[in-house]
Amino acid sequence: MTDACTVGFIGFGNMGQAIARGLVEAGTLDGSQIVACAAHWDKLVETTGAIGAKALHDAKEVVDAADIVVVAIKPYQIETVIKPLVADLAGADKFVVSIAAGWTLDRFETMMGEMSELIHLQCTIPNTPMAVGKGVLVTEDDNTLTDAQRAEFERIFGSIALIERVDGEHMDIAMCIAGCAPAFTDMYLEALGDAGVKYGLQRATAYRLAAKMIEGVGALYLATGTHPGAMKDAVCSPAGTTIRGVASLEESAFRGSVIRAVDAIEQG
C-alpha cells in the first residue's frame, strides 16, 4: 500500500466521522481518499462533504472502492451487512478494521467460516478524541494482517491515537476504560466548570481551565510514567488547600464511585 490508499467506512455515525475527521485534520489522508456509506443518504452526503470525502450508496460499493475497510456499523448489524460481503473482502489487496464493541477475531472467523482464511482483519475499539488526534485505539493482539498491512495500520491510525494492544479476553474492559470513561471525564469537566461558575468564573473560562488541566495530567503521566498517586502527592502540600479537596473526595468515595461505574458497565 501507498500513501494514496483509500479508506472506506461501512457506517458513518459519530465514531466513524470522528476517525475520518481526525485523519483529515492530521493530514494523514486527504478527504478524497475516504469513502463511506450509511443508512441515511442526505445526512451522509452532508457529513462526507464536510471533509471532502465521497458518499457511496451501499457497503458493496465501499468494499470495491477501498483498500482499508472500516466496519463502523452497530454490532448487531454486522452479521446482516458483512456476511454477504465475505467473498469481496477476501484477498491480499485490502484489509478490514472493525471498530465494533464485542466483535473479536474469533467471532468474525466463526461468522465468516472457511473464507476467513483469506481475509485480513484487525479488531479495534476507538474513542471519540481521535477526531482531534488525541484518541485511544484499543487493538486486539490477535489479527490476520500481513507485516506490510500491520505497518500501514500503525501509520494511519497511529497518527491520531495511542494504539494499545490487548488480548481478546480484555477487549471489553479496555473499551470501558478508553471508550466509555470519556463520558465520566466529561461529567468531571462539567462539574469543575459548575464549581468555577459558583465562585464567579465565566463558564467558558472554567471549562478551558479544566479541559487543559485534564489534558495536561494525562500528558504528564504518559511522558513520565509516574504513579498517579505520586503525581497527586506532589500537588498536596502539608496542611495545604489541595489536600483538603482530596480528603473531601475520599469522604465521598470518589475512587470507589469510579470503580463502581466500571462495574456497572462490565456486569450489566
CA dist 222 → 86, 162, 176, 225 (Å): 39, 10, 19, 6
- Find out whether 13 is annotated in a ligand binding site: yes
* Nearest partner of 11 among 90, 134, 103, judged by Cα: 103
What are the grid coordinates assigned to 80, written together? 446482516
Beta bridge partner(s), residue 8: 35, 69
- Find out whether 214 is annotated in a ligand binding site: no
- One-letter amino acid at 37 equals C
Residue with cell 490487548: 166
- Find out whether 129 is annotated in a ligand binding site: no
- Find out whether 75 is annotated in a ligand binding site: yes
* Nearest partner of 1 among 162, 153, 157, judged by Cα: 153
CA diameter of the chain? 68
C-beta separation of 88 from 115 below 8 A: no
Sign of CA dihedral 125, 126, 128, 134: positive
Angle between helices 181-198 and 254-267 (to 10 degrees): 150
Binding site, annotated residues: 10-15, 72-75
Binding residues for NADP(+): 10-15, 72-75
